[in-house]
């Protein structure tokens, strides 16, 4: 049973509480929108701290990605660095060679538009974006040859943009590396 003398007060109090909670939930929504907007704008305006940039117009002129520096390099610590470029519509080198059971660092970029870099049968999957270095570390357990298709639509010749990667025995690779500064399997 409600008592007529207090029901008006209770209704008032209830309404006030409801307004307060409505205001709190609107404030939360506004705060989330402000945070999302700030994060989005900030990320779009700032380069990520770990991103490495490179001038795509000067790749062939100097720096890490000149033609004579592309391919697989044996580092002093025994690991391998593979440098490659994607361009409409091929990879350079078009055949990459790496040893089994060795840490391999891929360092790649694009000379023109966005390409995809994927090694069939592995989880190696990169985007080659002009202006940026895409880097990934990997290790190949078994020898063999794998396909390397461009998996990002990059123009009319996209379908024909394929490369290969040859994984060879560690000892065989070491023998090759004695005589060549940069290795590839382009025939
Ligand atoms: Cu390059 Cu598709």
**For residue range 73-125, what is the model confidence (pLDDT) as tens digits?**
999 999 999 999 999 999 999 999 999 999 999 999 999 999 999 999 999 99
Tokens of 53: 């940039």
**Is pLDDT larger for residue 180 or for residue 3?**
180
Among the atoms of ligand 1, which is closest to the Cα of residue 159? 2
161: Cβ below 6 Å to ligand 1?
yes
Mean pLDDT (whole number) for 127-136: 92
**Dist. CA 118 → ligand 1 center (Å):** 11
For residue 10, the model assigns a pLDDT of 87
Give per-residue pLDDT as tens, 3-54: 555 678 888 999 999 999 999 999 999 999 999 999 989 877 776 666 788 9
Reply yes or no on whether the pLDDT at 185 is more than 90: yes
**Dist. CA 158 → ligand 1 center (Å):** 4
For residue 187, the model assigns a pLDDT of 84
146: Cβ below 6 Å to ligand 1?
no
Mean pLDDT (whole number) for 171-181: 92
158: Cβ below 6 Å to ligand 1?
yes
128: Cβ below 6 Å to ligand 1?
no
Among the atoms of ligand 1, which is closest to the Cα of residue 89? 1
Among the atoms of ligand 1, which is closest to the Cα of residue 161? 1
Identify whether the C-beta of residue 91 lies closer than 8 Å to the C-beta of residue 109: no
Tokens of 157: 């010749």
The position carrying tokens 């060679």 is 97
> Comparing C-alpha atoms, which of 102, 112, 100, 96 is closest to residue 147?
96
**Dist. CA 72 → ligand 1 center (Å):** 22
Among the atoms of ligand 1, which is closest to the Cα of residue 114? 1
Q: Distance between the two ends of the chain, CA-based, in angstroms?
A: 95
For residue 173, the model assigns a pLDDT of 94
Distance CA 110, CA 133 (A): 8
129: Cβ below 6 Å to ligand 1?
no
Helical ranges in the chain per DSSP H: 4-45, 170-179
Reply yes or no on whether the pLDDT at 135 is more than 80: yes
Among the atoms of ligand 1, which is closest to the Cα of residue 113? 1
Distance CA 96, CA 107 (A): 12
**Dist. CA 19 → ligand 1 center (Å):** 57
For residue 88, the model assigns a pLDDT of 94
């Amino acid at each position: 049973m409600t008592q007529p003398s207090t029901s008006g007060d209770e209704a008032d109090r209830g309404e006030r509480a409801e307004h307060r909670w409505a205001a709190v939930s609107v404030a939360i929504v506004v705060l989330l929108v402000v945070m999302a907007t700030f994060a989005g704008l900030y990320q779009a305006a700032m380069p990520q701290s770990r991103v490495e940039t490179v001038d795509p117009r000067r790749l062939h002129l100097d720096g890490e990605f000149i033609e004579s520096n592309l391919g697989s390099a044996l580092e002093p610590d025994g690991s391998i660095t593979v440098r490659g470029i994607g361009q409409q519509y091929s990879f350079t080198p078009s055949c990459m060679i790496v040893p089994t059971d060795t840490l391999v660092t891929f360092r790649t970029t694009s000379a023109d538009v966005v390409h995809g870099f994927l090694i069939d049968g592995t989880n190696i999957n990169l985007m080659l974006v002009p202006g940026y270095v895409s880097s990934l570390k990997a290790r190949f357990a078994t020898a063999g040859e794998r396909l390397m298709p461009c998996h990002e639509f990059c123009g009319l010749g996209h379908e024909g943009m394929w490369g290969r990667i040859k994984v060879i025995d560690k000892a065989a690779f070491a023998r090759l590396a004695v005589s060549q500064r940069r290795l590839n399997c382009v025939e």
